[in-house]
């Protein structure tokens, strides 16, 4: 595994959640609930990688306590549409966090990612960015989104890519293209099939989360 990739520690709770969201028999309501739980764990793990500094406060007993605080401004950037499922978890953890949007679609003739829409904070170049997308398959959309952030002045080492499920092909392509970006993922699957779907996978995450698979 690439040294810049961190996988969510596996335990009974995590495996139970992934078993739920991967199952074709799971209801949409439970899929959303359990996905949100995993996403929250992943966002927390990503935030732990951001720079902190010591901060001393005074408790109600009048005693000092040495804690910590962020030393950077943060921006969440979901890749529309599926990445928007991860936006709420970040907003629930960090109040008033800035959120950008990037929409990338695949050209059906060339099979290459095409930038359709982007909206980022004006000061995004001065922020650490959490790039949010549930799946890392070929890595094409994620790499295109990173190029948008770099074009807006974001430093490569200030980007953390957060996703639920990845595969060796996507990790290899992404980390080779951007060796300074850290990746936080929930699980790494076996690989891609001939249709470039992650196997064993989860299906179309966006369709299942937003109810457009029926």
Domain boundaries, the chain: 5-210
Residue 141: CB atoms within 10 A of its CB come to 24
Give yes or no for residue 109 having a pLDDT over 90.
no
Distance CA 154, CA 95 (A): 22
Mean pLDDT across 86-99: 94
Distance CA 116, CA 133 (A): 16
26 is catalytic: no
Q: Give me the pLDDT at residue 111, please.
A: 61
Residue 88: CB atoms within 10 A of its CB come to 15
Reduce the DSSP state of residue 184 to 3 states and report it.
strand
110 is catalytic: yes
Among the listed residues 207, 208, 212, 213, the single catalytic one is 207
Question: What is the per-residue pLDDT across 124-167, written as a single tens digit (0 to 9) for each?
Answer: 999 999 999 999 999 999 999 999 999 999 999 999 999 999 99
Give yes or no for residue 74 having a pLDDT over 70.
yes
Mean pLDDT across 29-56: 97
Question: What is the per-residue pLDDT across 159-213, written as a single tens digit (0 to 9) for each?
Answer: 999 999 999 999 999 999 999 999 999 999 999 998 889 999 999 999 999 998 6
Q: Was domain 5-210 assigned CATH 3.40.50.2020?
A: yes
Integer distance in angstroms from the first to the last C-alpha of the chain? 36
Among the listed residues 15, 110, 193, 208, the single catalytic one is 110
Report yes or no: 144 and 15 within 8 Å, Cβ to Cβ: no
Give yes or no for residue 121 having a pLDDT over 70.
yes
Mean pLDDT across 73-100: 94
Give yes or no for residue 92 having a pLDDT over 60.
yes
Among the listed residues 106, 195, 208, 213, the single catalytic one is 106
How far, in Å, are 107, 111, 198 from residue 37 at the CA level? 33, 33, 21
DSSP secondary structure code for residue 190 in this structure: S
Instruction: Burial-class residue 151 by CB neighbours within 10 Å (0-12, 13-18, 19+).
Output: exposed
Instruction: Burial-class residue 50 by CB neighbours within 10 Å (0-12, 13-18, 19+).
Output: middle
Report yes or no: 81 and 206 within 8 Å, Cβ to Cβ: yes
pTM above 0.75, yes or no: yes
Q: Across all residues in the chain, what is the average pLDDT?
A: 94
């Amino acid at each position: 595994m690439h040294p810049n990739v961190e996988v969510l520690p596996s335990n009974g709770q995590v495996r139970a959640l992934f078993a739920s969201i991967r199952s074709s028999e799971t209801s949409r309501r439970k899929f959303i609930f359990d996905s949100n739980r995993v996403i929250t764990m992943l966002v927390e793990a990503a935030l732990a990688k951001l720079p902190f500094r010591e901060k001393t406060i005074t408790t109600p007993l009048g005693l000092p306590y040495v804690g910590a605080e962020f030393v950077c401004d943060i921006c969440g950037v979901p890749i529309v549409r599926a990445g928007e499922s991860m936006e709420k978890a970040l907003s629930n953890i960090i109040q008033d966090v800035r959120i950008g949007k990037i929409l990338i679609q695949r050209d059906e003739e060339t099979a290459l990612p095409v930038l359709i829409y982007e909206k980022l904070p004006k000061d995004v170049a001065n922020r650490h960015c959490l790039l949010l997308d549930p799946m890392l398959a070929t890595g094409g959309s994620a790499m295109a989104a990173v190029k948008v952030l770099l074009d807006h002045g974001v430093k490569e080492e200030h980007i953390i890519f957060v996703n639920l499920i990845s595969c060796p092909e996507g990790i290899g392509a992404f980390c080779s293209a951007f060796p300074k970006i850290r990746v936080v993922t929930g699980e790494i699957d076996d690989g891609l099939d001939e249709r470039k779907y992650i196997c064993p996978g989860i299906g179309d995450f966006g369709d299942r989360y937003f109810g457009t698979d029926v």
